[in-house]
């Protein structure tokens, strides 16, 4: 008796099982994961059995209890998964690894529930169908579609096989992600001679010395070293763009494109297994390939995605070939011995030199104008002008997982809170995965209202990996890091400014995947808007504004190498589609052969024979972008066209901009997954999307028409 009550007491004290307004990120530990998730799953299994026993094809008897089950799992698993991304440890990993199969098993049981599926079908076929709101119709249709894709129609043996595949896919994705993180962490290049890292800017030297310091080189300082170069984004990019030492660039590049491709961190077999299992899953569901499964919940079809990629590829190819010619000629004019033999580790370096020469812009010299506090002020002022919201610090209101994390409250024009978000800006290679992302913490929901009157407010995470403050300097950002913050904030706005009270389609929930990048890519355009940029770009020491001349050069440099950058994304999107349509796992062609075949049409310099970038391609093997990476380009068409509505209204006309911003908020940001994205776009723009604004913004229109 005593042991059982002490167990209950321990569970009662488990922070994952508490009732909270904001997750207790400061106290959740690896030790809470196993008991917490197991207790939650046990409770939810009981809730699901009760729902199946009492279900009726009505909203209160079906959707309300279902939303409560889905939400509890999403929120609690979200806490654990988030901590794995930002505060990784071997203890946390093994705890997640152990309970993940149990969590997947429950999700499959929920997704394959016949009583729930039949109740949704009964709503669809009932005479009351026409009286439902558009959002409710979308919920019913998407629940039926998701159930079919979860294997609800499969009979016993096939369903068991399907479930085994799902479990194994989840396990392999986790392993893939861990291998990339560990391989990135494992690589360290210690440099002791200053001439070996000549050209590296002060910020990069400061960061490399700080890394060396943290690894036990106690006398490391920026000026004299020693320095440690890693494969973490900011470190890798600074070497590629600025190191004069060509052999150092080559070494770092080769290490980067072969990450997680050898030894006990080799992802090659994992990728093959993932592709094989995805194909098996597709066949079980009566699809020809996994891309068709992916497209079942998207705006596009395989054919339409391929058609768009080819249209953009042919518009970009000649420009990219010219880019390479320009680099050759420029490096030759600088007497570079490699001018006639430029390789992958030369292009970023010479591109930077050419950009500096052509536009007289030095990325590093711009950093002092982009200090993180000023960037956030400018971003919040822009959001206020466009969408009528006020954003204020609310640090201390919610627990955080690291002292650098900020917490903010968003209020509407009447002063009422509408949402909250966390911002975790800096790179922490030892425990935080690379890249940048936005995730939901809590979604807006009337059913889950805390007081029964107002909807529960949405909460988001915004995570970046930029250069941390060095010494007493604030975090000084590159222009690319500035764009990244705007991008992630666009995602967060769609989650936070939703007016949709149906929790299953509120915010970013229920939005077709190839439309979710619309608001994020839309926000990037404002980085080039004069008033916005000038309000941000203040020198962190003197307060002086970025010179007008420099702004004009930034604008002119916007389309610099646009063809090459476009092809890079098209390579990723095309290889993703090829691997999920006509690649035969275990056949005569390897995954790397497929990449090389795609690269012939998407890369001016063919990849190295030993290029294994696929072993680090997290988006499609450990993220949600399998047979969906094309979404970036698909949504870029939508976002460029959406921004062109502001251009048409007149970017200098503040009243017109506010009016268009209000319309954007009331459609793209407010409607969530409650309305089909094409209809939402047409409601905002007054017509269907056109690729013309994207090609115009990228300076590729002439090439396309030619």
Catalytic residues: 488
Provide φ and ψ at 265, rounded to 5°: -110, 15
CB 638 within 8 A of CB 681: yes
Provide the 3-class DSSP secondary structure of residue 454: coil
- Local structure of 260: helix, strand or coil: coil
| 425: three-class secondary structure by DSSP | strand
Q: d(Cα 179, Cα 186) in Å, to the nearest integer?
A: 10
Distance CA 101, CA 166 (A): 9
For 335, the enclosing helix (H) or strand (E) is none
What is the rounded end-to-end Cα distance, in angstroms, of the chain? Answer: 82
Give CA–CA dist 561/185, Å, rounded.
31
Q: Whats the size of the chain, residue-wise?
A: 706
Alpha carbon dihedral 432, 436, 442, 445, in 10-degree steps, equals: -170
For residue 49, count other CB atoms closer than 10 A to its CB.
11
Positive/negative CA dihedral, 291, 295, 300, 303: positive
Cis peptide bond upstream of 226, omega within 30: yes
List, in order, residues 6 or more apart from 287 with CB less than 8 Å away: 293, 296
Report d(CA 505, CA 482) in Å as an integer. 30
* Residue environment code for 683-696, b if the CB has 16+ CB neighbours within 10 A, otherwise e: ebbeeebebebbbb
């Amino acid at each position: 008796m005593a042991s059982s009550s002490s167990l209950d007491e321990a569970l009662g004290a488990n922070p994952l099982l508490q009732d909270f307004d904001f997750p207790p990120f400061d106290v959740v530990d690896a030790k809470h994961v196993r008991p917490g998730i197991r207790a939650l799953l046990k409770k939810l299994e009981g809730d699901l059995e009760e729902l199946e026993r009492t279900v009726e094809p009505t909203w209160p008897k079906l959707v309300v209890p279902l939303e409560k089950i889905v939400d509890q799992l999403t929120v609690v698993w979200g806490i654990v998964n988030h901590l794995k991304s930002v505060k990784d440890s071997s203890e946390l990993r093994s705890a997640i690894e152990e309970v993940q199969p149990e969590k997947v098993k429950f999700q499959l049981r929920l997704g394959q529930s016949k009583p729930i599926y039949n109740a949704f079908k009964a709503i669809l076929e009932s005479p009351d169908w026409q009286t439902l709101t558009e959002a409710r119709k979308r919920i019913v249709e998407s629940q039926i579609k998701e159930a079919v894709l979860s294997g609800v129609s499969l009979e016993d043996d096939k369903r068991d096989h399907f479930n085994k595949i799902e479990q194994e896919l989840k396990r392999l994705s986790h392993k893939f992600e861990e291998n990339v993180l560990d391989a990135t962490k494992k690589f360290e290049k210690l440099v002791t001679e200053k001439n070996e890292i000549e050209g590296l800017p002060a910020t990069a030297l400061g960061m490399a010395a700080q890394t060396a310091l943290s690894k036990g080189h106690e006398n490391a300082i920026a000026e004299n070293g020693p320095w440690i170069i890693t494969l973490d984004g900011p470190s890798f990019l600074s070497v590629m763009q600025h190191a004069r030492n060509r052999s150092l660039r080559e070494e770092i590049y080769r290490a980067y494109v072969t990450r997680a491709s050898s030894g006990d961190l080799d992802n090659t077999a994992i990728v093959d297994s993932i592709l094989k299992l995805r194909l098996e899953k597709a066949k079980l569901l009566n699809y020809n390939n996994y891309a068709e499964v992916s497209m079942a919940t998207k705006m596009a079809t395989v054919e339409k995605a391929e058609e768009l990629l080819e249209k953009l590829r042919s518009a970009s190819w000649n420009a990219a070939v010219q880019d390479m010619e320009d680099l050759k000629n420029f490096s030759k004019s600088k007497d570079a011995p490699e001018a006639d033999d430029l390789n992958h580790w030369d292009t970023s370096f010479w591109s930077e030199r050419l950009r500096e020469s052509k536009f007289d812009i030095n990325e590093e010299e711009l950093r002092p104008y982009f200090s993180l506090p000023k960037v956030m002020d400018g971003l919040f002022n822009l959001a206020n002008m466009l969408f009528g919201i006020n954003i204020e610090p609310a640090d201390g209101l919610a627990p955080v997982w690291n002292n650098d994390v900020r917490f903010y409250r968003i209020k509407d024009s009447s002063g009422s809170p509408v949402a909250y978000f966390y911002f975790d800006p800096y790179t922490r290679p030892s425990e935080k995965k690379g890249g940048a992302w936005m995730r939901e913490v809590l979604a807006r929901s009337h059913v889950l209202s805390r007081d029964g009157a107002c909807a529960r407010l949405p909460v988001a995470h915004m995570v970046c990996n930029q250069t941390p403050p060095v010494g007493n300097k604030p975090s000084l950002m590159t222009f690319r890091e500035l764009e990244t913050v705007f991008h992630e904030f666009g995602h967060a706005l769609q989650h936070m400014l939703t007016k949709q009270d149906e929790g299953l389609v509120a915010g970013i929930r229920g939005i077709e995947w190839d439309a979710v990048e619309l608001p994020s890519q839309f926000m990037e355009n404002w980085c080039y808007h004069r008033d916005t940029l000038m309000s941000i770009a203040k020198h962190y020491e003197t307060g002086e504004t970025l010179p007008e001349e420099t702004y004009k050069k930034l604008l002119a440099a916007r389309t610099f190498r646009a063809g090459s950058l476009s092809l890079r994304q098209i390579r990723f999107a095309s290889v993703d589609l090829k691997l999920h349509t006509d690649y035969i796992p275990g056949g005569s062609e390897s995954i790397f052969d497929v990449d090389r075949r795609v690269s012939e049409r998407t890369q001016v310099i063919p990849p190295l024979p030993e290029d294994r970038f696929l072993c680090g391609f997290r988006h499609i093997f450990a993220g949600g972008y399998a047979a969906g990476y094309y979404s970036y380009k698909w949504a870029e068409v939508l976002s460029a066209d959406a921004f062109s509505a502001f251009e048409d209204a007149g970017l200098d006309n503040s009243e017109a901009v506010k009016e268009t911003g209000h319309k954007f908020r009331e459609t793209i940001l407010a409607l969530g997954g409650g309305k089909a994205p094409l209809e939402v776009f047409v409601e905002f723009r007054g017509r269907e999307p056109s690729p013309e604004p994207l090609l115009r913004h990228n300076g590729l229109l002439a090439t396309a028409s030619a």
